[in-house]
């Protein structure tokens, strides 16, 4: 049976991981390759690298980094952050990324999703949505959550899937950073109504939260950053916990 996936997310700036990662058993916690390989070894099912570099050198640094990751990491990984064209994606896939994620650029020009799906196949096109609940519904936010739109997250997700997105990475801004659990309602709505996998993101604080999002919201995968980086939850222990409670998990 297809398993639920546990996905650590690494934020990258100028080729280095940001956020205070602290592991005794690696030499350089700022090195995305070393950290990624460690997570792979610990049982992560996939990795997401989110590039938040804003400089002009970004593209070159990122493609070099992707090549280094692909060389050393033997599980699939997604690269996101500032991707806005077929050419950007081509470079990253050629460098060895398995999937790419698009967010603001796809919202501003939805045809990008069609173009990417046609050129590279839906399986490598992940649509990332940042969403916030207000005035009774979940709305799409852009530019890393700074810009509000009037479009509902579900409507945009549905359109993007029709255009060829192969997976949805849904981050609830209400939950992100709270450690109070994932947004079960909107995650469940997307997961149960769209025929592509949904990755839940934002709010993971305990192992029970992962259980909830898999069992009660039917998420296909769950993504988290700081709880893994700060070792508040070990991936192995999390997988054991889920497995013992009947969730399909890879060991």
Catalytic residues: 11, 130
Angle at 223 between CA 231 and CA 40, to 5 degrees: 60
| φ and ψ at residue 172, rounded to 5 degrees | -90, 120
Q: Which is nearer to other proteins, 37 or 207 (CB)?
A: 37
Q: Which stretch binds other proteins (CB under 8 A): 2-10, 132-140, 202-210, 227-235?
A: 2-10
- Member of 121, 177, 216, 237 binding other proteins (CB under 8 A): 121
Minimum separation from the CB atom of position 5 to other proteins (A): 6
Q: Does 190 bind other proteins (CB under 8 A)?
A: no
Identify whether the C-beta of residue 220 lies closer than 8 Å to the C-beta of residue 198: yes
Query: Residue 47: left (phi > 0), alpha (psi -120 to 50), or beta?
Result: beta
Which residue, 160, 90, 84, is CA-closest to 127?
Answer: 160
The interface with other proteins within residues 125-164 (CB under 8 A) comprises: none
Q: Which stretch binds other proteins (CB under 8 A): 95-103, 108-116, 142-150, 234-242?
A: 95-103
Cα–Cα distance for residue pair 7/204, rounded to 1 Å? 12
Q: Does 71 bind other proteins (CB under 8 A)?
A: yes
57: Cβ contacts below 8 Å, ≥ 6 apart: 14
Cα–Cα distance for residue pair 112/108, rounded to 1 Å? 9
Minimum separation from the CB atom of position 226 to other proteins (A): 24
Minimum separation from the CB atom of position 195 to other proteins (A): 5
Cα–Cα distance for residue pair 32/38, rounded to 1 Å? 10
CA separation, residue 94 to residues 37, 47, 90, 99 (Å)? 20, 18, 6, 11
Cα–Cα distance for residue pair 151/68, rounded to 1 Å? 38
Q: Does 95 bind other proteins (CB under 8 A)?
A: yes
- Member of 221, 223, 224, 238 binding other proteins (CB under 8 A): 221
Q: Does 238 bind other proteins (CB under 8 A)?
A: no
Q: Does 202 bind other proteins (CB under 8 A)?
A: no
Q: Does 111 bind other proteins (CB under 8 A)?
A: no
CA separation, residue 23 to residues 50, 105, 110, 148, 206 (Å)? 20, 35, 40, 37, 20
Query: Residue 164: left (phi > 0), alpha (psi -120 to 50), or beta?
Result: left
Q: Does 75 bind other proteins (CB under 8 A)?
A: yes
Q: Which stretch binds other proteins (CB under 8 A): 24-32, 65-73, 103-111, 141-149?
A: 65-73
Minimum separation from the CB atom of position 81 to other proteins (A): 20
Minimum separation from the CB atom of position 42 to other proteins (A): 11
Binding site residues, other proteins, CB under 8 A:
1-3, 5, 40, 45, 70-72, 74-76, 93-96, 98, 120-124, 166-167, 192-193, 195-197, 220-221, 250-251
């Amino acid at each position: 049976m297809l398993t639920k996936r546990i996905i650590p997310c690494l934020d990258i700036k100028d080729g280095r991981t940001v956020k205070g990662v602290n592991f005794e058993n690696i030499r350089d916690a700022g090195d995305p390759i070393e950290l990624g390989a460690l997570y792979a070894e610990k049982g992560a099912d996939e990795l997401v690298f989110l590039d938040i570099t804003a400089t002009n050198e970004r593209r070159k640094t990122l493609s070099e980094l992707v090549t280094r990751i692909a060389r050393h990491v033997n599980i699939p990984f997604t690269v996101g952050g500032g991707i806005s064209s077929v050419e950007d994606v081509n470079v990253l896939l050629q460098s060895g990324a398995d999937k790419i994620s698009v967010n603001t650029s796809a919202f501003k020009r939805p045809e990008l999703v069609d173009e990417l799906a046609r050129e590279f196949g839906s399986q490598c096109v992940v649509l990332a949505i940042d969403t916030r609940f207000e005035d009774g519904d979940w709305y799409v936010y852009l530019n890393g959550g700074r810009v509000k739109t009037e479009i509902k997250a579900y409507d945009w997700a549905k359109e993007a899937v029709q255009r060829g997105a192969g997976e949805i990475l849904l981050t609830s801004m209400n939950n992100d950073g709270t450690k109070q659990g994932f947004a079960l309602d909107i995650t469940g709505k997307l997961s149960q109504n769209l025929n592509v996998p949904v990755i839940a993101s934002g709010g993971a604080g305990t192992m029970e939260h992962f259980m909830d999002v898999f069992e009660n919201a039917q998420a296909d995968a769950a993504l988290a950053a700081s709880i893994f980086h700060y070792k508040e939850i070990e991936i192995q222990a999390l997988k054991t916990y889920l497995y013992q409670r009947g969730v399909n998990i890879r060991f």
